[in-house]
């Protein structure tokens, strides 16, 4: 899959804002991460009282379905079920913000990280990587200093993410937007110490690893209960570290020394987004909030062939650039008009019509009437998998 910031723009650091239906048209990578991780946890967990819910669409838009998922998480882990993804619910995801900021800050994901940096966010980065085969590269428990060994681990993590289909990550040791997204999607522990009273998705990861290593025989349910704590203490004793039942930098490092896996396959289950390119849901907005100047009543969409068959779109005077502008993987536009039968290339299509943008021949004009809903997105030859770049309802 492409980077989340390309597929579900705009990039928003996970945990940097409260997510709720009270903010209309709320969209971005943070919403998509919340949705995707929720779906994965449904597959990985075995709740003792039945399912935590049903999978939801990963579209990067905070709608009623996502609100319901947040309520499921809150109910399951004993939080106030308000459907608002705030600091306490982010903590269930292992992301500490606000009063839950861990390791002294800065908040993980709030700044770019590279060799020479130091701070609590570097500690979290090292913890997350140390839970996997990258522990052999870092060579020590997290200490909050981004050294050369940590840089090598970051490079290897990026390479593994690329092998998993995450295109667009720069081949360097800088931890920026795309790398933070990948770490939130693939590394679930390390953002906080795991101890009695802290339940969540990082506990799911911990239970899975300890079960694989033969220390934990209970259900993978995300509760840091007495059985889980006993398994942690047994693991700590076997590895010569303090047997306090608190999973911190020393324990994360020892876990990674016994876990040869690359981060993109953390729980031994299929990662949903890696099997099929996520397709954003159509972004319908009214003419007052359209993502470009308002459509005029009964306007026309022009598909204009450019050099090298790179098509551009002109929608009632709105000229969109060549598809490659939105990323190197995109070579065409796709458009959809809903609500009316439309005529395309001499054929009758509809009421739900889609036509591939790259073409040979002369320019094509497609009229659409007042009230029609239209959206345009970029994609490659496999279909419309990129971001929606223009959407709206034609003014009446």
Q: Which of 160-164, 259-263, 289-293 has the lowest mean pLDDT?
A: 289-293
pLDDT band at 392 (very low <50, low <70, confident <90, very high): low
pLDDT surpasses 90 at 214:
yes
Q: What is the pTM of this model?
A: 0.69
pLDDT score of 319 more than 70: no
Q: Which of 214-218, 297-301, 341-345, 384-388 has the highest mean pLDDT?
A: 214-218
| Of 116-120, 174-178, 376-380, the least confident | 376-380
pLDDT at 347: 30
What is the mean pLDDT of the segment spanning 358-374?
A: 47
Question: Can you tell me which residue has the tokens 């971001």?
Answer: 387
Least trusted range by pLDDT, from 50-54, 283-287, 341-345: 283-287
Give yes or no for residue 108 having a pLDDT over 80. yes
Say if residues 284 and 393 touch (Cβ distance below 8 Å): yes
Give the number of other Cβ atoms within 10 Å of residue 242's Cβ.
Answer: 12
Q: Which pLDDT band, with edges at 50, 70 and 90, does 320 fall under?
A: low
pLDDT at 66 over 90: yes
> Are 266 and 205 spatial neighbours (Cβ–Cβ below 8 Å)?
yes
Whether the pLDDT of residue 297 is over 90: the answer is no
Q: Is the pLDDT of residue 104 over 60?
A: yes
Residue 304 has pLDDT above 50, yes or no: no
Most confident of 85-94, 288-297, 342-351: 85-94
Average pLDDT of the chain? 77
- pLDDT above 90 coverage of the chain, percent: 53
Q: Is the pLDDT of residue 358 over 90?
A: no
User: How far is C-alpha 256 from the geometric centre of its chain's CA atoms?
Assistant: 23
Q: Per mean pLDDT, which range of 169-173, 202-206, 262-266, 326-330 is the poorest? A: 326-330
Mean pLDDT of 196-221: 95
Residue from 242, 248, 210, 205 nearest 227 by CA:
210
**Choice between 50 and 85, residue whose per-residue pLDDT is larger:** 85
Asked if residue 300 has pLDDT above 70, the reply is no
């Amino acid at each position: 899959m492409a980077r989340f910031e390309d597929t579900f723009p705009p990039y928003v650091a996970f945990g940097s804002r409260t997510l709720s239906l009270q903010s209309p048209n709320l969209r971005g990578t943070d919403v998509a991460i919340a949705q995707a991780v929720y779906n994965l946890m449904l597959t990985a967990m075995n709740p003792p009282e039945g399912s935590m819910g049903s999978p939801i669409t990963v579209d990067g838009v905070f709608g009623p379905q996502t609100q319901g998922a947040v309520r499921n998480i809150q109910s399951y882990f004993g939080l106030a079920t308000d459907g608002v993804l705030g600091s306490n619910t982010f903590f269930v995801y292992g992301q500490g913000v606000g009063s839950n900021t861990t390791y002294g800050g800065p908040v993980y994901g709030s700044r770019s990280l590279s060799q020479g940096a130091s701070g609590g966010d570097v500690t979290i980065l090292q913890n997350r990587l140390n839970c996997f085969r990258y522990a052999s590269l870092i060579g020590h428990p997290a200490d909050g200093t981004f050294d050369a060994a940590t840089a090598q681990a970051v490079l290897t993590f990026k390479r593994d993410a690329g092998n998993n289909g995450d295109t667009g990550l720069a081949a360097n040791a800088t931890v920026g937007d795309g790398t933070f997204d990948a770490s939130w999607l693939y590394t679930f522990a390390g953002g906080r110490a795991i101890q009695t009273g802290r339940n969540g998705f990082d506990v799911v990861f911990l239970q899975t690893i300890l079960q694989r290593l033969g220390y934990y025989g209970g259900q993978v349910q995300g509760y840091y209960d007495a059985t889980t704590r006993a398994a942690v203490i047994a693991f700590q004793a076997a590895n010569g570290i303090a047997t306090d039942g608190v999973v911190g930098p020393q324990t994360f490092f020892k876990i990674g020394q016994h876990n040869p896996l690359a981060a993109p396959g953390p729980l031994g289950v299929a990662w949903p987004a890696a099997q099929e390119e996520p397709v954003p849901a159509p972004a319908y907005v009214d003419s007052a909030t359209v993502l470009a100047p308002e459509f005029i009543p009964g306007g026309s969409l022009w598909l204009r062939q450019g050099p090298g068959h790179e098509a551009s779109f002109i929608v009632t005077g709105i000229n969109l650039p060549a598809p490659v502008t939105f990323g190197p993987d995109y070579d065409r536009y796709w458009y959809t008009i809903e609500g009316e039968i439309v005529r395309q290339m001499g054929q009758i299509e509809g009421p739900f019509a889609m036509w591939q943008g790259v073409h040979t021949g002369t320019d094509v004009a497609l009229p659409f009437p007042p009230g029609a809903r239209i959206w345009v997105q970029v994609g490659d030859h496999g279909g419309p998998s990129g971001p929606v770049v223009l959407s709206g309802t034609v003014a009446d």
